[in-house]
Amino acid sequence: MSSERVVFAVGAHPDDVEFGMSGTLSLLVKAGFTAHMMNVARSNLDSNELPEEEITRIRRHEAERSAEVIGATYHPPFVDDLMIFYEDTLLRQMAAVVREIRPRIVLLPSPNDYMEDHTNTSRLVVTACFSRAMRHYTTIPPRGPTAQDIYLYHAQPHLNRDGMRNLVVPELFVNVTGEMETKVRMLGCHESQRRWLDETQALDDYIESMRQANAQVAHLLARSGWQYAEGFRRHSHVGFSAEDRDCLAEVLAANLERRKEAATE
């Protein structure tokens, strides 16, 4: 598989990609990219009523349906909820997926978010990408090394604030106003989340919560005139690509702006 037009979007749980990355992912698919989606955790704890095996099955089916909306390949999770740690086995498993996909662009969680599953997913994906060309690093299952340049883009933390309540202002803004219908379709596939988020996080309308978060990102780009946007911060290119390019900006130039002066609230 050629890596020139491959994008890999990774979240900790089913629906994480849909909240903060799916509009950008949809735009990349329209630009000719082959898309891959993954959630690291099975979301086996996302119900206080259903048996664990049943909610795990439901959450995977919902994630598969969401990927189908944009024709993305879905990669199954590795581990149970609250068990995403920066540790050897998970790192080797994630590295195998990266080597198999050979992505050019990787969309991944913020390095600081409101829960550790998100933060640890970010760390795992970064190192998995860094180790892609190390011949003596053995993945699970074994996959040969790859040497393509790779560009990492960290999405906004949940509701645009880090774990210490600080507003995170992105470097890059992607206009997803025209992709909101697709985002709603994808997030709407996760029907089991509505009641769970209402019970545990007081989010009685998770689709509206997503809209509000994306609207806030658009507002942070002063004078943008956009209704909805997704935000990203670039990871350093050192160890990942030979030159410091902004691959996402090159591909989505018509729908992307860099931060100039931004609003503060």
Distance in angstroms (rounded) separating the CA atoms of residues 243 and 149: 9
Task: Give mean pLDDT, residues 157-166.
Answer: 96
Indicate whether 77 belongs to any domain: yes
pLDDT of 260 strictly over 50:
yes
Check residue 166 and report its DSSP letter. P
201-237 residue pLDDT tens: 555 588 888 999 999 999 999 877 899 999 999 999 9
The total number of structural domains that make up the chain: 1
Indicate whether 264 belongs to any domain: no
Indicate whether 205 belongs to any domain: yes
Residue appearing with tokens 């790779």: 150
Task: Give mean pLDDT, residues 16-44.
Answer: 97
Task: State which residues form the domain around 164.
Answer: 6-258
Sorted by sequence, the CB contacts under 8 Å of residue 265 that are 6+ apart come out as 167
Indicate whether 192 belongs to any domain: yes
Q: What percent of the chain has pLDDT over 90?
A: 85
Domain of 163: which CATH number? 3.40.50.10320
Indicate whether 23 belongs to any domain: yes
**Phi-psi bin for 239: left (phi > 0), alpha (psi -120 to 50), beta?**
left
Indicate whether 1 belongs to any domain: no
